[in-house]
Amino acid sequence: MNTEAIYEYLERIANLIRTDVRKTGIGSGLQPIHLEALHYLSRCNRYSNTPIAVAEFLGLTKGTVSQTLGVLEANGLIEKQTDTRDRRVVHLNLTPLGEQVIAESIPPQVIRSAMTALSPSEDEAVIEALRLILRRLQQANGLKSFAACKTCRHHLIEQDGARRCGLTSESLTDIDAEKICREHEPPSKLKLG
């Protein structure tokens, strides 16, 4: 196994992406961590748009995330909303300005440019390889998968075609099914290679 070469490629790719994100963020007055938090919030579902979920996804402390969210809120990029069922829970939602910043910043231009040079089959192969590496890293470290709701073992489709979360018993929309969830668990029969 060529672990060192894989690490070096992934490290260099991450550095190139981070450099481009940093340039983009500076133009918006944001640091890369701010864009990472915004990007996560733009993709997560209603179970996962809480400060603790942001901290888990980014692998940061609650304090660091609290400061990051404070900057985002002060800049009008997110707004806090108290949960209607549990007043102790706060949900974080992107404002129209936050959505605009993400649309202009993510994915960064370096990725957009590089990916346009790939053929459809190369594009598919890259995505599949990266998906497999991510899943293996998550398994090796016992990390949450944070994947699309529709790929979760709890995602149920009723006989009438309605979607439901088997964990919470709540109804899901088609949009919910596409978003990432902190409660995601891969199906037990998921083939990983």
pLDDT for position 65: 95
For residue 55, give its domain range: 3-110
87-118 pLDDT, tens per residue? 999 999 999 999 999 998 888 888 888 889 89
pLDDT for position 53: 94
Q: 97 with 31, same domain?
A: yes
Q: Show which of 110, 128, 160 is a domain's final residue.
A: 110
* Unique residue bearing structure tokens 């260099």: 12
Q: 11 with 100, same domain?
A: yes
120-164 pLDDT, tens per residue? 999 999 989 988 888 788 777 766 678 888 988 889 999 998 998
Whole-model pTM? 0.77
